[in-house]
Amino acid sequence: MTRRHLLAACAGTAALLAPAAAARPAPALRLVATDPVTVRGTHFHARESVRVTVRTADLTRIRRVRATATGSFTARFTAPVGYDPCADTLRVYATGARGDAAGLKLPQRACPPAP
């Protein structure tokens, strides 16, 4: 195989693989429960170590979890977070050891005043 054929084969392979890599969904977070605060992450790298941070106005809690073979995880914060949706904004960040990152912000709700 000549050098030109080898370069053409490599370029062709790279062109075929690029759309597959670009088609990977972005990492995402979803709030599963508020008491205890439980977050589900998807589309992270397989078996990636992930640092999950939950923040309210008064508190920051951090957990380390490992994504499954499919790139998902569930992080449960058993220590009190003290999240009150009528008084706080909840921010959740997840950063993977291989560079994946996702964020979630739940703004304070407009709740009626207590009687």
Q: Look up the CATH number of the domain holding residue 44.
A: 2.60.40.10
Evaluate whether residue 47 is within a structural domain: yes
Q: What is the pLDDT of residues 39-54, one digit of tens each?
A: 999 999 999 999 999 9
Domain span at residue 51 reads: 25-106
**Mean pLDDT, the chain, integer:** 83
pLDDT at 7: 47
User: Measured on CA atoms in the order 88, 38, 72, 46, is the torsion positive or negative?
Assistant: positive
pLDDT at 47: 96
pTM > 0.75: yes or no: no
Number of domains in the chain: 1
pLDDT at 19: 56
Instruction: Provide the token pair at 8.
Output: 């053409």
Averaged pLDDT for residues 90-114: 89
Between 8 and 74, whose confidence is greater? 74
By percentage, how much of the chain surpasses pLDDT 70? 80
60-66: strand order across its sheet: 60-66, 49-55, 90-96, 101-106
Contacts of 79 by beta carbon, 8 Å cutoff, 6+ apart: 61
Q: Does residue 21 carry a pLDDT above 60? A: no
pLDDT at 17: 53
Instruction: Provide the token pair at 101.
Output: 């990152």
Q: Is 14 left (phi over 0), alpha (psi -120 to 50) or beta?
A: alpha
Q: To 10 degrees, the CA torsion angle through 38, 39, 40, 45?
A: -130
Instruction: Provide the token pair at 105.
Output: 């912000």
- In angstroms, the Cα distances linking 104 to 31, 65, 89 are 8, 17, 11
Averaged pLDDT for residues 63-92: 87
Evaluate whether residue 81 is within a structural domain: yes
Evaluate whether residue 67 is within a structural domain: yes
